[in-house]
Amino acid sequence: MSGPDVPDANINGYSYDDLMAIVNFLQSKLVSLKPKVAIICGSGLGSITDIIENQISLPYEEIPNFPVSTVAGHGGCLVFGILSNVPVMCLKGRFHFYEGYPLWKCCMPIRIMKLLGCSHLIVTNAAGGINQNFKIGDVMLIKDHVNFMGFAGNNPLRGPNEERFGTRFPGMNKAYDKDLIKAALDIAKGLNIEDKVHQGVYASVGGPNYETVAELKLMQTLGIDAVGMSTVPEVIVAKHSNLSVFAFSLITNECVLDWDSHKEPNHEEVLKATQNMEVVLQNFVKQIIEYIGKITCVCKQ
């Protein structure tokens, strides 16, 4: 059926064939490697890729029909390899709505991860701490989210649904894998960082400006613990694609909740905070992937 009132399958994104063309290109570069766990690196968190063995790195601009990252602190490549004896792929540099990309394009790599065979997704981000108990350098395991962009109708699933990925109306009440959160808490205890690791609710806003005091006070009233400019659209698409999701925020700045404060958030402090936590987060992610490998019996081919 076609006509002016029926949206075309391509109007809000890539067709299934478009995605498969990207997958075929990537598979031609990977030889026998079949990634099972995918990782998205947030601002300044690209050093996670430093511990991946047998790396195959593909710059975004060399991948057909792939967007490019334009934000400082975000690399611009897909990294494949082995971590904790598990085949992985890593998006070193994500894409944001505020860069001018529509959400379906920001989240297209999630579809590629699914088509390449990934079963789990680890999402990381740098976030502002609204919860007054959070300090810079703390880690918040995301147990739920508030999708402010979605309230305005901006959703990566907007447009025709591709049934080969998932249902038209996916539920989000189980978006974050509770078993992985529990395992992460145990891992944090083993690494002696349990006092720096919390659970909380993450809110996604459009950016690129930081939030006003009034906006932050509203979020605080709503029970939101941290805020950022990413992650939620990716998690929605991952859930739609039946991927198990584990996500965490590195608290890189304390949100300004006082109109009389002279503090002003900036991207430089975000990058500095991530640098200070590089080694800790590398070990944290490595052990989470090791755990996923054990529970799924995934090992290097």
**Catalytic residue chosen out of the listed positions 16, 20, 98, 154:** 98
**Catalytic residue chosen out of the listed positions 16, 20, 21, 267:** 267
**Catalytic residue chosen out of the listed positions 60, 99, 210, 244:** 99
Based on the residue annotation, tell me whether 16 is a catalytic residue of this protein.
no
Based on the residue annotation, tell me whether 99 is a catalytic residue of this protein.
yes
**Catalytic residue chosen out of the listed positions 89, 108, 126, 184:** 126
Strand, helix or coil for residue 281: helix
| For the chain, the helix, strand and coil percentages under 3-state DSSP, each to the nearest 5 | 35, 20, 40
d(CA 75, CA 267): 15
The tokens describing 243, both together, are: 């991927």
Q: Where are the beta strands (DSSP E) in 160-219?
A: 197-204
Based on the residue annotation, tell me whether 96 is a catalytic residue of this protein.
yes
Based on the residue annotation, tell me whether 74 is a catalytic residue of this protein.
yes
Based on the residue annotation, tell me whether 140 is a catalytic residue of this protein.
no
d(CA 223, CA 36): 34
**Catalytic residue chosen out of the listed positions 131, 253, 254, 291:** 253
**Catalytic residue chosen out of the listed positions 96, 120, 145, 198:** 96
270: Cα separation from own chain's centroid: 17
Based on the residue annotation, tell me whether 43 is a catalytic residue of this protein.
yes
Based on the residue annotation, tell me whether 229 is a catalytic residue of this protein.
yes
Are the C-beta atoms of 81 and 56 separated by less than 8 Å? Answer: yes
For the beta carbon of residue 293, count every other beta carbon within 10 angstroms. 21
> What is the amino acid identity at position 138?
D
**Catalytic residue chosen out of the listed positions 74, 120, 145, 240:** 74
Based on the residue annotation, tell me whether 202 is a catalytic residue of this protein.
no
For the beta carbon of residue 183, count every other beta carbon within 10 angstroms. 18
| Residue 34: half-sphere exposure toward Cβ, Cα within 13 Å | 8
Based on the residue annotation, tell me whether 211 is a catalytic residue of this protein.
no
**Catalytic residue chosen out of the listed positions 230, 241, 244, 249:** 230
**Catalytic residue chosen out of the listed positions 38, 43, 131, 247:** 43
> What is the amino acid identity at position 244?
S
**Catalytic residue chosen out of the listed positions 108, 149, 229, 277:** 229
Q: Among 95, 226, 66, which Cα is nearest to 156's?
A: 95
* Residues 6+ away with beta carbon under 8 Å from 290: 84, 85, 86
Task: List residues with catalytic annotation.
Answer: 43, 74, 96, 98-99, 126, 229-230, 253, 267
